Structure 1
Amino acid sequence: MIYGIGTDICDIRRIRETFERRGERFAEKVLGPHEIEVFRERLAKVPARGIAYLATRFSAKEAFSKAIGMGMRMPMTWRACEIVKAPSGKPEIRLHDGLAAWFDAKGLKAHVTVSDETDYATAFVVVETRP
């Protein structure tokens, strides 16, 4: 049964401007431990790819917070929710700390998809109850 859905669209230009103003502190606030490593690798190779990665993760976390009906308040934090890639390439949600405990206690499972184009990143999340 569906517990909640969330979607978000993000202007990559806005993320780029924020990153230019605040530097890596912005990325470190939004990205979890695994994500920050991927971000740094992508940014070093092709800066636009790094910024697009940051934008898709920002968008996915916003969509996830909407799907669980919590918004950005405890235990939902930027770094407690990571969007990682499964071996197949499929994006998945990995939760940490209190958010992971809350999610497991509710018996929930999440599905996420992300996409980006030149100026926009988008994400869609479906959260369902586990059978």
Structure 2
Amino acid sequence: MIYGIGTDICDVRRIRASLARHGDRFARKILSDAEFATWQARSARWPERGIRYLATRFSAKEAFSKAIGLGMVMPMTWRLCEISNLASGKPAIVLYGGLKDWFEGKGLSVHVSVTDETDYAASFCVVESLDKTSL
């Protein structure tokens, strides 16, 4: 049963401007430690790809926060939600701390899709509940 659906589109130019204004501090606010390391590596090889990586993570976390119905309110925080990739390349969401406890306590699972083009990153997220009592 669907618990919630979220979608987000992010203007990559806005992320670029935020990075120019705030530097690594902006990326540290949005990204988990593992995401930050990936962002640094991608940015070092090809800066524009690093910006789009950050935009897709921003967008996916926004979509997830909408799908769970919390927005950016505790226990949902930027850094407790990580967008990773399975070996196949499929994006996946990994949760930590209180957000993980809250999510698992409700018996939820999540599916996420991310995409980016030159100027935009977009994400779609579906959260499912197998337990009808958690709704």
Partner of 1:115: 115
Give CA deviations for 1:12-69 in whole Å, capped at 9, x if unaligned.
0000000010000000000011110110000000000000000000000000000000
Distance 1:52 1:130 in 2: 34
| Identity within the alignment, % | 63
Aligned structure 1 segments of 4 or more residues deviating by more than 4 angstroms = none
Unpaired runs of 5+ residues, structure 2, are: none
Give CA deviations for 1:96-124 in whole Å, capped at 9, x if unaligned.
00000000000000000000000000000
Distance 2:130 2:85 in 1: 21
Partner of 1:82: 82
Distance 1:121 1:5 in 2: 17
TM-score by length of 2: 0.96
**1:12-27 equivalence runs, <5 A:** 12-27=12-27
Partner of 2:41: 41
TM-score by length of 1: 0.99
RMSD: 0.7
Distance 2:35 2:86 in 1: 13
Amino acid at match of 1:15: I
**Shift of the alpha carbon at 1:130?**
3.0
Distance 2:125 2:36 in 1: 21
The question of 1:103 aligning with 2:103 is answered yes
Amino acid at match of 1:63: A
